[in-house]
C-alpha cells in the first residue's frame, strides 16, 4: 500500500445512489462446492430482480479468474487473495447502489468473514449452496472432479483441498432435495424486505 495516498470523500454517497435506484444495495455471496449450483442460482435470482427493476451485477468465479484474477493459482494463499479482491470489487459495487451477486467456492470461513469486514456485515448476505460432494461429482458440469480424481488437478476443493461450510449462513439451500424454482424463491423471499 502506498503511504502517499489520501482517501478522497465525494459528495454523492451510497445513500444518494440507493435513493436514485429506489432500493437498498448489498452483497449476495453464494458459497459452496464446484458444481453445487451457485452460478445457476445467482443468475436466476438476478433475472428475477431485474424483472422487478432492481439494479444488479453478478461476479462469477470463472469469469473473474479470466480477467482481474488471472494471475492467481488455486493454492490457499492465492484463494485468499482471490476472495479479498472480489470483496473489494463487490464493496465498490454496493457503494454504487447496486445489488451485487457473487458466486465463488470461497472455501475458507476466515476469508468469508473478511468479506463481511470489507463490505460491512449489514451489507453481506451469505448463501450456502449446500450440495453433497456426491451430487456435485455426479453433475461434474466442468469435468473438474473427474480430472481431480485422476490427479490432473491439484487443490480441488472437496477432493484434495478442504471446504469449510458456513456455520450460520443467512440462507441455506440444499439443492440435493430442493428444486431450482423453490431455491430461487427462498432467496427472493429473504431479500425482498432488505431492498426497501
Q: What is the pLDDT of residues 11-41, one digit of tens each?
A: 898 888 999 999 999 999 999 999 999 999 9
Q: Using alpha carbons only, give the angle 79, 154, 73 rounded to the nearest 5 degrees.
A: 35
The answer to whether position 36 is within a domain reads: yes
Using the Cα atoms of residue 170, residue 167, residue 179 and residue 90 in order, give the sign of their dihedral: positive
Was 53 annotated as part of a binding site? no
Was 33 annotated as part of a binding site? yes
Was 36 annotated as part of a binding site? yes
| Residue 107, C-beta contacts closer than 8 angstroms, at least 6 positions apart | 79, 157, 161, 162, 163, 164
Mean pLDDT score of the chain: 92
Was 160 annotated as part of a binding site? no
Domain total for the chain?
1
The answer to whether position 196 is within a domain reads: no
The answer to whether position 195 is within a domain reads: no
The answer to whether position 110 is within a domain reads: yes
Was 34 annotated as part of a binding site? yes
Q: Do 31 and 110 contact (CB within 8 A), yes or no?
A: no
- Catalytic positions, please? 106
Domain that residue 128 falls in: 23-188
Was 37 annotated as part of a binding site? yes
The answer to whether position 53 is within a domain reads: yes
CA–CA gap between residue 158 and residue 136 (Å, rounded): 10
- Per-residue pLDDT of the chain (196 residues), as tens digits, is 567 777 878 889 888 899 999 999 999 999 999 999 999 999 999 999 999 999 999 998 778 888 889 999 888 898 899 999 999 999 999 999 999 999 999 999 999 999 999 999 999 999 999 999 999 889 888 888 888 888 888 888 888 888 999 999 999 999 888 899 999 999 999 999 899 8
Residue carrying C-alpha cell 465463488: 104
The answer to whether position 109 is within a domain reads: yes
Q: Do 184 and 48 contact (CB within 8 A), yes or no?
A: yes
- For residue 155, what is the domain's CATH number? 3.40.50.300
The answer to whether position 15 is within a domain reads: no
The answer to whether position 77 is within a domain reads: yes
Q: What is the pLDDT of residues 56-69, one digit of tens each?
A: 999 987 788 888 89
pTM here?
0.92
| Long-range Cβ pairs for the range 188-195 (8 Å, 24+) | 188/45, 188/48, 188/49, 190/125, 191/26, 191/28, 191/125, 194/24, 194/26, 194/125, 195/23, 195/24, 195/54, 195/99
Amino acid at each position: 500500500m502506498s503511504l502517499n495516498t489520501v482517501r478522497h470523500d465525494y459528495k454523492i454517497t451510497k445513500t444518494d445512489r440507493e435513493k436514485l435506484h429506489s432500493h437498498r444495495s448489498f452483497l449476495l455471496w453464494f458459497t459452496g462446492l464446484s458444481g453445487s449450483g451457485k452460478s445457476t442460482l445467482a443468475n436466476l435470482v438476478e433475472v428475477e430482480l431485474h424483472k422487478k427493476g432492481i439494479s444488479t451485477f453478478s461476479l462469477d468465479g470463472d469469469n473473474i479468474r479470466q480477467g482481474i484474477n488471472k494471475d492467481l493459482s488455486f493454492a490457499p494463499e492465492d484463494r485468499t487473495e482471490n476472495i479479498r479482491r472480489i470483496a473489494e470489487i463487490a464493496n465498490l459495487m454496493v457503494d454504487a447502489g447496486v445489488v451485487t451477486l457473487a458466486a465463488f467456492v470461497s472455501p475458507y470461513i476466515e476469508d468469508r468473514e473478511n468479506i463481511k469486514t470489507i463490505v460491512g456485515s449489514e451489507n453481506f448476505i451469505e448463501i450456502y449452496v449446500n450440495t453433497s460432494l456426491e451430487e456435485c461429482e455426479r453433475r461434474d458440469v466442468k469435468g473438474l472432479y473427474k480430472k481431480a480424481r485422476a490427479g490432473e488437478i491439484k487443490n480441488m476443493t472437496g477432493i484434495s483441498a478442504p471446504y469449510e461450510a458456513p456455520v450460520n449462513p443467512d440462507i441455506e439451500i440444499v439443492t440435493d432435495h430442493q428444486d431450482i424454482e423453490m431455491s430461487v424463491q427462498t432467496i427472493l423471499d429473504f431479500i425482498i424486505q432488505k431492498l426497501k
